[in-house]
Amino acid sequence: MYEKPAADSLRIRRRPRLAEAVVEDVVKAIVTETYPAGTALPPEGMLGDMYGVSRTVVREATMALTEKGLVVSQQGRGTIVRESSGWDMLDPLILGALFQREDGLRYLDNLSEIRSLLEGQMTYKAAESHTPEQLAELSQQMAKLESLIPHPAAYVHEDVAFHDIIMRISGDKLSKAVIDGLQSEALRNHGYSGRLNEEHIRATHTAHEMIFDAIRKGNGPAARKAMRDHIESSWARRRAARTSED
């Protein structure tokens, strides 16, 4: 015989979604320093009123904030915002908020530096260890990119796939996971992607050809340099365009 679920159990299923909405908003408020390090978050009751949720949802949200390293509970003081050195900087919500800060540009600079180092080394590995099948896949991607030069938006989408193929060929799963996590949030930020234009796309494609040629020849050092030069010069162009707009 079917028994209707208790109302309490239905509420429990809904609470995580409510808590996630609270967490997302409070993460942004902490990272953008609406709540600076060392200050206390509003009490549970006040947060519940602010977001229209129960104290249980607020506690679940606070637990998530604690797991991200953003806050710590202190007897007699409440929930205290921690210094940024304690934050989980690879957490998607924290990353997204960092890129939106007034000084978000320096975090995007840092991302470019990390990509240059890690992807450069992965490209070295891809050049030194690729199989004929893997090279054929990369060659097909290059042909697709060339056909999309007049279509910047489509090119950028396939550009991400080009880099993904190289990272997969390298076999360096840990570095790929770091890059994927960092870049997925950065790509949501217009300041990172920049304005799309055919001139930039043609310069990008020339850099891709140099990377592909070095990988095809099995020249690890040249492949690493080509990738690093590409990442650094591409970000320098996008950064300069962003600065001129501000």
Q: pLDDT by residue (tens digit) across 156-194?
A: 899 999 999 999 999 999 999 999 988 887 777 666 766
Q: Are residues 107 and 196 in the same domain?
A: yes
In a domain, 201, yes or no: yes
- 101 phi and psi angles, rounded to 5 deg: -65, 165
Domain that holds residue 31: 7-86
Helix 152-170 × helix 104-129 angle, to 10° = 60
- Whole-number Å distance between alpha carbons of 222 and 122: 12
In a domain, 97, yes or no: no
Q: Which residues, in sequence order, are bridge partners of residue 72? A: 80
Q: Are residues 34 and 143 in the same domain?
A: no
Q: Are residues 71 and 133 in the same domain?
A: no
**Domains held by the chain: number:** 2
In a domain, 93, yes or no: no
What is the pLDDT confidence band of residue 54, given thresholds at 50, 70 and 90?
A: very high
Report field, pTM of the whole predicted structure over 0.85 = no
What is the pLDDT confidence band of residue 137, given thresholds at 50, 70 and 90?
A: very high
| CATH number of 126's domain | 1.20.120.530
pLDDT digit string, tens, across residues 150-165: 999 899 899 999 999 9
In a domain, 1, yes or no: no
